[in-house]
Amino acid sequence: MASDAKPPFRKLRGYAFDPALTLQLDMAPISTIVYKIPWEDAAAATINNQGIRPGPIGEYLEVIDYDPTVGKSYKPVDLNDPYILAQDGLDPSEGNPQFHQQMVYAVAMTTIKNFERALGRKILWADTWDRGTKKNVSRLRIYPHALREANAYYSPYKRALLFGYFSSSPADESIQMPASLIFTCLSHDIIAHETTHAILDGMHPNFNQPTNPDVLSFHEAFADIVALFQHFTFPEVLKNQIRKTRGDLAAQNLLGQLAQQFGSAIGNYGSLRDAIGEIDEKTKQWKPKEPNPDDYRTVMEPHARGSILVAAVFEAFINIYKSRVADLIRIASNGTGILTAGELPEDLVNRLADEAAKSADHVLQMCIRALDYCTPVDINFGDYLRAIITADVDLVNDDSRNYRLAFIDAFRRRGIYPKNIKTLSVESLQFKRNPSFGPKVQGMFLMISQFLKKFRNDIMDTKSRDEIYRITQQYIVGNEEQQGLHDQIVQQFDNQTEFENVTGLVLNRDWQKFGINESRSNKDYPAVLVHNLRLVSRVGPQGGQIHHIVVSLLQQAKVIVKNGEFIGVATNTKEKKRASTFMGGCTLIFDLNTLKLRYAISRPLLDTTKTKPEDRTLDKKRIEQQVRYEQDEIMMCVSDYSHYFGSGLTNGAQEPFAFLHRH
């Protein structure tokens, strides 16, 4: 009986925005909401690593409330305490660190669940090395009180979120703790934002290598998009505002204004949303900012550039919402489109809020799903648009509400065009599906597909994320009985021009001439990293099912660039030390229903216009662009802080996300 009655959710109260909004009278009724997160049983004392313990420490997260600035720890909250259980968690309070722990746990778990729902699998954090072998990091660590600064960041080195707190007003006596502290760990948007950085790092660890102006912006913008639309999936927070602006058909403006309010309470976090709109000086009304098609070409600073992407996605969302509520407005206005004076009927408010929440959820899911369709390195906004469209076409056959067009139009209006695409349409933006190969290569793909099917069968019913990780690694690396995916790819596709053409990676006998290192496992072959092997099981709104396997390959060439010109590859150790690293990669998506390669989405190392084996060269143009960006342009668009304290953003030993937020 008891096991059957296990609750689906654990309800935890928390701030809907951040504590500052509880002080605004009109927002007070919606300032707190109840987060519903998946239930985890109390930890059995005997079994480690299972269930939820004081901290909270659960399956995905470990909240450790050690405050290094005073060298003390705060008591951890026990979410299974009967009193706490009985009242949906602790009361929201700035003065109680245990509530802070509960808040970061609730919002981070909500974010994780949104990703898992969109991706159709369990998420894994970026793994680590332990004495020569790769090891899963089961839990993301969260330090709610780690810094005394208006900053919070994800540390890819510690697989941890560090939240800061700071004083909002100067102290009267400096040696005393200043009054009115602001805690970044109490803001829904900041927690969601930082958790997203961590999840994205687990999926695409190379997305913090700034090889073009979009890369740094993408991490920031994507994290902000998740925070924003996750916020909009709570209908409660929308109702109040929809009610207030009754009759105003431009309710979409209100959502834009609301989006900005969410972000503005604490420091820099709202800055990405400034591109959405502004208050008109004359009318004092908020109005959306007109997009400028030059922006994408001219704006380079990471935050400003990221805001272009945020604004594009937001505009798509607004148009989707508008189309979803058009009928409601017609019904409520007897077809006139003009609502009668007086307060909106409560039913209509509820329906509008539901539609807004639903639109937000769809946009959120589209944006997350697209991550599986991105190249593992050198992301740019144009390719991200292609990934969104392709992922959506795969899952949703009938785009009856024109979601895809809404996205394409919003990107187009900001000048974000994918390279080498002549016209913008749903068809042209999709990645090429089912590339065709000669019988030999086709046969190899069939073999690999079958191997991957076996992988799926092994992993499908595995609940434990540690176990999923272990099996995945085993399939990549192989064991005595079974050759791993890495060796299969490197050895079977050796000297297969067709494979090189589609991936843009170097897998021929002359690999040394391309500045590629030797493989660590077998010195006869070029180094290629299989850095992702992921199962995708999704069910679309029309019942369509997807069973895909996503594999990411990475390769790097050591290249020498002098005076802006690519003059050759580094061949010996000495040259390699001083050479630039040129990264290429390819995401292969296999369809387990057809046992075929469905997509090869690549950022080629090779110049793919030259298809004959004897003409092969590295992509000179991209090398030169990348080096110019890394050596020159990037310095024009970073903060003073980075100028003085960062020895170049590409220096791997620093906290990349801390720097972007620090000024």
Partner 1 sequence: MDKITHAEVRMYRMGTGDCFIIKMFKGTDNTFTMMIDCGTWKGSKEHLEPYIKNLKDYIREGRTAEPATIDLLVVTHEHLDHVSVFKSCKELFTADFVVKKIWMGWTENDAPTSADDPLGDQLKHWKEEYGQRKKALNVVADRLNSLMTDEKAAKKKSPLGLQPDFAVAVDRFAELHFSARGSEYIGGLAGMEVVKKEIATNNIAYVHPGQVISNPEGAEGIKFYVLGPPTSIDSIKAEGAPADEPGETFSHSQNNKRTDNDSFATAILNLTDPQLLSSILPFDESFLADETMSEYASESWRKIDYDWLNSAGSLALRMNSATNNLSVALAIEFADSGRVMLFPGDAEYGSWKSWHSIKWQAKDRFNDNKPLETKGLLNRTVFYKVAHHLSHNGSAKRLGVEMMTDPDLVAMATLDYDVISPGWTSTMPNRDLIADLLLRTKGRLIIMNEEGLSIDRTPEKQPLKDKILATRQQFMTSAESTAFHNAFSEGPGEEKLYYQYKVNAM
* Minimum distance of partner 1 from residue 309's CB (angstroms): 17
> Quick check: 466 and 138 in contact, CB under 8 A?
yes
The tally of CA atoms less than 13 A away on the side-chain side of residue 603 is 28
H or E segment at 659? helix 656-661
Amino acid at 129: W
Token output for 261 = 């309010």
Residue 75 binding partner 1, by CB under 8 A: yes
Residue 573 or residue 647: which is nearer to partner 1 going by CB?
A: 647
Residue 156 or residue 504: which is nearer to partner 1 going by CB?
A: 156
Residue 95 or residue 335: which is nearer to partner 1 going by CB?
A: 95
Residues 112-141 that bind partner 1 (CB under 8 A): 128, 141
Nearest to 320 by CA among 363, 259, 367: 363
Residue 146 or residue 356: which is nearer to partner 1 going by CB?
A: 146
Residue 7 or residue 564: which is nearer to partner 1 going by CB?
A: 564
* Minimum distance of partner 1 from residue 517's CB (angstroms): 24
Position among 146, 223, 251, 536 found at the interface with partner 1 (CB under 8 A): 146
Per-residue contact track with partner 1, 524 to 563, x per CB under 8 A? Answer: -------------------------------------xxx
* Minimum distance of partner 1 from residue 157's CB (angstroms): 6
Residue 658 binding partner 1, by CB under 8 A: yes
* Minimum distance of partner 1 from residue 50's CB (angstroms): 15
* Calpha distance 557→576 (Å, rounded): 9
Residue 346 or residue 632: which is nearer to partner 1 going by CB?
A: 632
Nearest to 496 by CA among 483, 507, 512: 507
Residues 392-411 that bind partner 1 (CB under 8 A): none
Residue 628 binding partner 1, by CB under 8 A: yes
Residues 251-270 that bind partner 1 (CB under 8 A): 267-268
* Calpha distance 430→387 (Å, rounded): 7
Nearest to 241 by CA among 260, 265, 258: 258
Residue 479 binding partner 1, by CB under 8 A: no
Nearest to 312 by CA among 268, 355, 242, 366: 366
Amino acid at 273: R
Residue 304 or residue 405: which is nearer to partner 1 going by CB?
A: 304
Residues 37-56 that bind partner 1 (CB under 8 A): 55
> Quick check: 161 and 196 in contact, CB under 8 A?
no
Position among 78, 88, 236, 274 found at the interface with partner 1 (CB under 8 A): 274
Per-residue contact track with partner 1, 226 to 245, x per CB under 8 A? Answer: --------------------
* Calpha distance 459→481 (Å, rounded): 18
Residues 180-209 that bind partner 1 (CB under 8 A): 181, 183
Q: CA-CA distances (angstroms) from residue 347 to 223, 243, 251, 344, 371?
A: 33, 11, 16, 8, 37
Position among 133, 423, 479, 647 found at the interface with partner 1 (CB under 8 A): 647
Position among 87, 168, 285, 450 found at the interface with partner 1 (CB under 8 A): 168
Neighbours of 291 (CB within 10 A): 20
What residues are paired with 547 via a beta bridge?
537
Position among 31, 32, 98, 472 found at the interface with partner 1 (CB under 8 A): 98
Position among 10, 121, 122, 145 found at the interface with partner 1 (CB under 8 A): 145
* Minimum distance of partner 1 from residue 175's CB (angstroms): 6
Residues 147-166 that bind partner 1 (CB under 8 A): 147-151, 155, 157-160, 162, 164-166
Residue 184 or residue 587: which is nearer to partner 1 going by CB?
A: 184
Residue 73 binding partner 1, by CB under 8 A: yes
Residues 447-466 that bind partner 1 (CB under 8 A): none
Residue 213 or residue 382: which is nearer to partner 1 going by CB?
A: 213
Amino acid at 469: Y
Residue 510 or residue 565: which is nearer to partner 1 going by CB?
A: 565
CA 641 and chain centroid, separation: 25
**SS3 for 447?**
helix
* Calpha distance 554→559 (Å, rounded): 16
Residue 294 or residue 632: which is nearer to partner 1 going by CB?
A: 632
* Minimum distance of partner 1 from residue 133's CB (angstroms): 15
* Minimum distance of partner 1 from residue 66's CB (angstroms): 5
Q: CA-CA distances (angstroms) from residue 567 to 171, 579, 629?
A: 58, 11, 17
Residue 28 or residue 177: which is nearer to partner 1 going by CB?
A: 177
* Calpha distance 388→226 (Å, rounded): 14
Neighbours of 125 (CB within 10 A): 23
Number of residues that bind partner 1 (CB under 8 A): 82
Residue 95 binding partner 1, by CB under 8 A: yes
Residue 564 binding partner 1, by CB under 8 A: yes
Position among 184, 271, 449, 492 found at the interface with partner 1 (CB under 8 A): 271
**SS3 for 343?**
coil
Q: Which long-range contacts (CB under 8 A, 24 or more apart) does 327-334 make?
A: 328/352, 328/355, 329/249
* Minimum distance of partner 1 from residue 75's CB (angstroms): 5
Q: CA-CA distances (angstroms) from residue 577 to 378, 510, 560, 626?
A: 22, 21, 10, 18
Residue 60 binding partner 1, by CB under 8 A: no
The tally of CA atoms less than 13 A away on the side-chain side of residue 503 is 31
* Minimum distance of partner 1 from residue 29's CB (angstroms): 28
Position among 59, 62, 315, 487 found at the interface with partner 1 (CB under 8 A): 62
Residue 77 DSSP code: B
| The dihedral formed by the CA atoms of 50, 51, 55 and 57, expressed in degrees to the nearest 10 | 50
- Residues comprising the chain, all counted: 663
Cα angle 318-322-324, degrees, rounded to a multiple of 5: 115
Residues 282-341 that bind partner 1 (CB under 8 A): 300-301, 303-304
